Amino acid sequence: MVARGILNFPSRPSIRAAAVAAGPLEKKKSIFGPLFDKLHDSELCGEDTNEKAHSRLIEDACGLALEKAGAMPADADFLLCGDLVNEMTPSNFAAANLHLPYIGLFSACATSVSSLAVAALLTESGASRLALAGSASHHNSIERQFRYPIEYGFQKGPTAQWTVTAAGFAAVTQNEPGYPEIRRATIGRSVDYGLTDPLNMGAAMAPAAFDTLSRHLFGTNSVPGDYDAIITGDLGSVGSSLFRQMAKEEGLEVRRSKWRDAGEEFYGDDPSFFAGASGAGCSAAVYFSDVFQKMLAGEYRRVLLIATGALLSPLSFQQGESIPCTAHAVELSMSGGGQS
Amino acid sequence: MIMSFIVAFVVGGLICVVGQLLFDVANLTPGHTLSLLVVVGAVLDGFGLYEPLIDFAGAGATVPITSFGNSLVHGALQEAERHGLIGVITGIFEVTSSGISAAILFGFIASLVFRSKGRP
């Protein structure tokens, strides 16, 4: 039986390598900073605009992921990438420099996982031997895009989140023993509970995360206890507690230490980041550093990554529309972990 | 003299408290808050209430953005007395022109000298 929106990958494509490039604030303030592969000392990353810096991060992370996989850019078959700027120009410019067949994917902050799912499909079909999948965000350019330019000095409340400056990319290959395998993916639905506050994205995205979680568990006949970790993308502290509450109310066993959220953990407990981190680079940076490394080290054998995305635009917000949200999930395991 | 400082401080502060409440409680955007306070200042002057506030609080009433609304209406009424209906149009920017020109000029100078940065 085919469960709606659930993809199975019997050939078990592998994540052969992963890399993260990030900005100066992430170097100083993120608890994951030491795990990142490249840290820039300036938020402009040596470029003259924030948007060029955004592209630079994507190129850096892609280049490093290829290098770690022992490959050259010419060896990659596909680039699957997205960001949050209008028409995704940072990804487009980076793709132009990388000279790879490229599909820009917009799932907002859930692009880290939607790109991984598409890469796995391309690999499964035999069309790709090596595909780069990932996403990125740059604080200054995303603030300009969605909220207010930095110069404006806009005040944020406690439910707001801080867009990270980072890019995370994975090199997806056909099965290679010893590396995390992509077993299944659940494509999220767009869920709209009518919330309209763009400074409380966590609350808007939590129902989408829960929708995807329950569909994945039901469709794959698994329970939370089957996973070493269930890691959401950028719900932040507000959205995460709502997400866990929804799960508890549905009778799922929620173990705090295994139910992680990249956005909640990203900047530690620093209250100046409000409810935590967000942005397309947030989940990508944590999945493709901390989670990938923990899998290689054997600490995690089977994980469920649920990246969440708020699918609004500045125009839809100005027209008073609500914020539809989505969440995409992939299930990774080390060989022998989980059921086939 | 000290007393006038205190009055200016308290009155100006209270106007800012209203602005902060519009952000935090009413969830208004900075643009809405700014416009609303300008309109409030204009309406108060229309009823002849803003000038007494300035006499009482000095800079506490002239520095916040409400005073801009006051100046708009004040200039319009002043010119209307002299030139009739057309004075309403010409008078709106009569008193405020110095403030607007200064904002443009100093904004330009600041943009030449400084470059915005994220948090350190």
* A339 occurs within a structural domain: no
Residue listed under structure tokens 């740059």: A138
User: Quick one: pLDDT at residue A3?
Assistant: 84
* B100 occurs within a structural domain: yes
pTM, to two decimals: 0.90
The answer to whether the CB atoms of A139 and B118 lie below 8 A apart is yes
| Domain count within chain B | 1
Q: Which of A118-132, A146-160, B3-17 has the lowest mean pLDDT?
A: A146-160
pLDDT at A193 over 60: yes
Kindly state whether residues A80 and A208 are assigned to the same domain. no
Residue listed under structure tokens 């907002």: A108
The residue from A173, A202, A221 where one domain ends is: A173
User: Which residues from chain B sit within 8 angstroms of residue A157, using beta carbons?
Assistant: 24
Query: pLDDT tens digits for A33-45?
Result: 999 999 999 999 9
Q: Is A151 on the interface with B (CB under 8 A)?
A: yes
Query: Residue A24 belongs to what domain range?
Result: 6-173
CATH of residue A214: 3.40.47.40
Percent of chain A clearing pLDDT 70 (strictly above): 97
Query: pLDDT tens digits for A312-327?
Result: 999 998 898 999 999 9
User: Quick one: pLDDT at residue A152?
Assistant: 72
Nearest to B118 among A25, A155, A157 (CB): A25
Kindly state whether residues A118 and A17 are assigned to the same domain. yes
* Sign of the C-alpha dihedral computed for residues A33, A39, A41 and A45 taken in this order: negative
The residue from A173, A205, A240 where one domain ends is: A173
Kindly state whether residues A190 and A125 are assigned to the same domain. no
* B119 occurs within a structural domain: no
Percent of chain B clearing pLDDT 90 (strictly above): 81
Kindly state whether residues A227 and A126 are assigned to the same domain. no
pLDDT at B120 over 70: yes
Query: pLDDT tens digits for A279-325?
Result: 999 999 999 999 999 999 999 999 999 999 999 999 998 898 999 99
- Please give the residue of chain A at the shortest CA–CA distance from B30: A154
* A338 occurs within a structural domain: no
- Compute the average pLDDT of residues B38-53: 96
* B62 occurs within a structural domain: yes
| Domain count within chain A | 2
Contacts of A81 (CB under 8 A, 6+ apart): A58, A62, A91, A94, A95, A102, A104, A105, A111, A115, A132, A133, A134, A135, A136, A169
User: Which residues from chain B sit within 8 angstroms of residue A139, using beta carbons?
Assistant: 118
Kindly state whether residues A13 and A136 are assigned to the same domain. yes
pLDDT at A19 over 80: yes
* B25 occurs within a structural domain: yes
Mean residue pLDDT of chain B comes to: 93
User: Quick one: pLDDT at residue A73?
Assistant: 87
Kindly state whether residues A49 and A69 are assigned to the same domain. yes
SS3 string, chain A, reads: CCCCCEEECCCCCEEEEEEEEECHHHHHHCCCHHHCCEECCCCCCCCCCHHHHHHHHHHHHHHHHHHHCCCCHHHCCEEEEECCCHHHHHHHHHHHHHCCCEEECCECECHHHHHHHHHHHHHHCCCCCEEEEEEEECHHHHHHHHCCCHHHCCCCCCCCCEECCEEEEEEEECCCCCCCEEEEEECCCCECCCCCCCCCHHHHHHHHHHHHHHHHHHHCCCCHHHCCEEEECCCHHHHHHHHHHHHHHCCCCCCCCCEEEHHHHHCCCCHHHCCCEECHHHHHHHHHHHHHHHHHCCCCCEEEEEEEEECCCHHHHHCCCCCCEEEEEEEEECCCCCCC
Kindly state whether residues A242 and A193 are assigned to the same domain. yes
* A65 occurs within a structural domain: yes
Query: Residue B43 belongs to what domain range?
Result: 2-113
Nearest to A51 by CA among A132, A137, A169: A137
ipTM, interface predicted TM-score of the complex: 0.73
pLDDT at B21 over 70: yes
Kindly state whether residues A159 and A187 are assigned to the same domain. no
Query: pLDDT tens digits for A76-125?
Result: 999 999 999 999 999 999 999 999 999 999 999 999 999 999 999 999 99
The residue from A173, A192, A207 where one domain ends is: A173
User: Quick one: pLDDT at residue A336?
Assistant: 55
- Compute the distance between CA of residue B87 and CA of residue B79 in angstroms, rounded to an integer: 4
Query: pLDDT tens digits for B59-79?
Result: 999 999 999 999 999 999 999
* B89 occurs within a structural domain: yes
pLDDT at A163 over 80: yes
Question: Do the beta carbons of residue B91 and residue B76 sit within 8 Å?
Answer: yes
Mean residue pLDDT of chain A comes to: 94
User: Quick one: pLDDT at residue A140?
Assistant: 92
User: Quick one: pLDDT at residue A18?
Assistant: 98
* A73 occurs within a structural domain: yes
User: Which residues from chain A sit within 8 angstroms of residue B116, using beta carbons?
Assistant: 149-151
* B61 occurs within a structural domain: yes
pLDDT at A337 over 50: no
Kindly state whether residues A191 and A59 are assigned to the same domain. no
- Compute the average pLDDT of residues A148-164: 82
Kindly state whether residues A87 and A199 are assigned to the same domain. no
* B120 occurs within a structural domain: no
Question: Do the beta carbons of residue A164 and residue A282 sit within 8 Å?
Answer: yes
pLDDT at B114 over 50: yes
Kindly state whether residues A161 and A17 are assigned to the same domain. yes
Confidence of residue A250 (pLDDT cuts 50, 70, 90): very high
The one-letter amino acid at A293? Q
Residue listed under structure tokens 């309109």: B39
- Compute the distance between CA of residue A304 and CA of residue A293 in angstroms, rounded to an integer: 15
Kindly state whether residues A125 and A268 are assigned to the same domain. no
**For chain B, how many residues are written?**
120
- Compute the average pLDDT of residues A14-32: 97
CA distance B108 to chain A (A): 14
Nearest to A157 among B24, B117, B118 (CB): B24
CB-count burial class (<10 Å; 0-12, 13-18, 19+) for B53: buried
Confidence of residue A339 (pLDDT cuts 50, 70, 90): very low
